[in-house]
Amino acid sequence: MLVSVLMPTFNVAQYVAAAVNSILGQTWRDLELLVQDDGSSDGTVDVVQNIARSDGRVRVLPPFRENSGVVAARNALLKSAQGDFIAWMDSDDVSLPPRLQTQLDFLARNPEFGALGTAIQWMDSDGTAREIQRFSPDPAKQAIDPNVCCASVMARRVAVEDAGPFREAFFAGSEDRDWLLKMADRHKITNIADVLYAYRRHSGLMSRNRGVIARLGVLARYAARLRRRGEPDPIETLVPDRGFHFLRDAVFLDNPEFDNRDVVEALGRPLPGENPLVSVLIPCCDEEPYFFEKHMREWSSQTFRNFEVLIHDDASRTAVEEERVRKLLPEIPLTVVRSETRNGSAAARAALLARARGSILAWQNEDVEEVEALLPANSTSKTRRTLFLEALVHARLNTIRRAKPAQ
């Protein structure tokens, strides 16, 4: 039984030899390793071609002349695969020697499953082993929201063919989640507890936009729900663009198919160039520095990141230092306004409201009772503080979501 191992590459010359050799060193020998380079400029292709000269099981597909994205690379690999089973492999990771054999044995014993992933060993950029992560084996959970390391997946060819190609709407991320959900329309997916894959953690993993990926993940789940009800897949009508207008806040706020949990997950981080969903408004006058900075650190630690902070300093004797606040609130949009003369609380609040861009307003040290019931009862006080905005958004969504227009 031939196994096609598919590896997209892009600027991984430092790591790709270890990734390729970990596949060639598998105990299961009947395999082909297909490599599709996505416009690398660091010599990645040369490294792989040098290895291919000494092992005919490596096939290097014609490299893309320029970076075309992971969706294009994955689809090119799928079109060229000849195996009875398809396995993925990231170009900066390592597969342990028994990986393919173990996965094949499982699929042979369990014909009801179309695909499976493995547990993973996290490792640092230098290969130092870190924590182990295991994923749910429950196929019912995987069919709703895949919890799988896609790079460790092996699937039967029939399951891959039923899933079809990766979709361009997911060019910025979550393409693997959408693909697995399409597969789960007809096939069961699971995970095994064996640690068979080492996943490298390095700075390149942070380069993709987290906010966009979260929105795409929610959209993928929504599309799966509609398909399984026999309704048209909404992804097919999307026109993806590099400005991500197809993922703007209104897409999730205006659609009653998304429950509040979906919306909070999708909108947890802002899109580039979009207004924040929440405006945190802080009027202050002669605040005690310790407590002021303590509050800033609490806002900075929020799990919900789609917010801005606006501070109105009402002629404090010691002015609020904008540069200092920015250091306390890294990556959070900040506006600091100062009155030269003291005008009182009402004027400060009015000035803040005039500048707020968010659809949800949160005042410093207020709104506590509104969200208290939504916070986990058994959580620590620190956890409750970091979940404050997330719970506040849950509480306020029903007041800002617009009704879906009549058809």
* Predicted pLDDT at 25: 98
Q: Do 120 and 180 have their domain in common?
A: yes
Residue at 407 is within a domain:
no
Helix (H, G, I), strand (E, B) or coil at 89: coil
Per-residue pLDDT in tens (0 to 9) along the chain, 407 residues:
999 999 999 999 999 999 999 999 999 999 999 999 999 999 999 999 999 999 999 999 999 999 999 999 999 999 999 999 999 999 999 999 999 999 999 999 999 999 999 999 999 988 899 999 999 999 999 999 999 999 999 999 999 999 999 999 999 889 999 999 999 999 999 999 999 999 998 755 444 588 899 999 999 999 999 999 999 999 999 999 988 999 999 999 999 899 999 999 999 999 888 899 999 999 999 988 888 899 999 999 999 999 999 999 999 999 999 999 999 999 899 999 999 999 999 999 999 999 999 999 999 866 665 666 666 666 677 777 888 899 899 888 988 875 444 44
Q: Do 159 and 62 have their domain in common?
A: yes
Q: What angle do CA 304, 307, 311 make, to 5 degrees?
A: 130
What the block records as the tokens of 301 is 């630690």
Residue at 271 is within a domain:
no
d(CA 323, CA 209): 26
Residue 344 is given by DSSP the state: -
Look at residues 189, 206, 223 and tell me which one is the last residue of a structural domain.
206
Q: Do 237 and 105 have their domain in common?
A: no
d(CA 34, CA 32): 6
Query: Whole-model pTM?
Result: 0.88
Q: Do 53 and 170 have their domain in common?
A: yes
* Predicted pLDDT at 404: 45
With residues binned 3-state (H G I as helix, E B as strand, rest as coil), the percentages for the chain, rounded to 5, are 40, 20, 40
Residue at 77 is within a domain:
yes
Residue at 171 is within a domain:
yes
Q: Do 175 and 219 have their domain in common?
A: no
Q: What angle do CA 145, 219, 277 make, to 5 degrees?
A: 110
Q: Do 126 and 62 have their domain in common?
A: yes
* Predicted pLDDT at 384: 78
Q: What is the CATH number of the domain that holds 352?
A: 3.90.550.10
Q: Do 33 and 63 have their domain in common?
A: yes
Q: Do 259 and 383 have their domain in common?
A: no
Among candidates 126, 108, 124, 106, which has minimal Cα distance to 116? 106
Q: Do 318 and 240 have their domain in common?
A: no
Count Cβ neighbours within 10 Å for each residue of 331-345 and write b for 16 or more, e otherwise. Answer: ebebebbebeeeeee
Residue 345 phi/psi, 5-degree rounding, is: -65, -40
Helix ranges (H only) for 91-174 are 99-109, 139-144, 157-163
Q: Do 33 and 181 have their domain in common?
A: yes
State how many domains the chain has. 3
Look at residues 206, 240, 257 and tell me which one is the last residue of a structural domain.
206
Residue at 324 is within a domain:
yes
Q: Do 159 and 256 have their domain in common?
A: no
**How many beta carbons lie within 10 A of that of residue 14, not counting itself?**
14
* Predicted pLDDT at 372: 63
* Predicted pLDDT at 382: 74
Q: Which domain holds residue 319?
A: 278-400
Q: Do 219 and 170 have their domain in common?
A: no
Residue at 130 is within a domain:
yes
Residue 406 is given by DSSP the state: P
Task: Provide the CA 214 distance to its chain's centre, in angstroms.
Answer: 5
Look at residues 206, 221, 254 and tell me which one is the last residue of a structural domain.
206
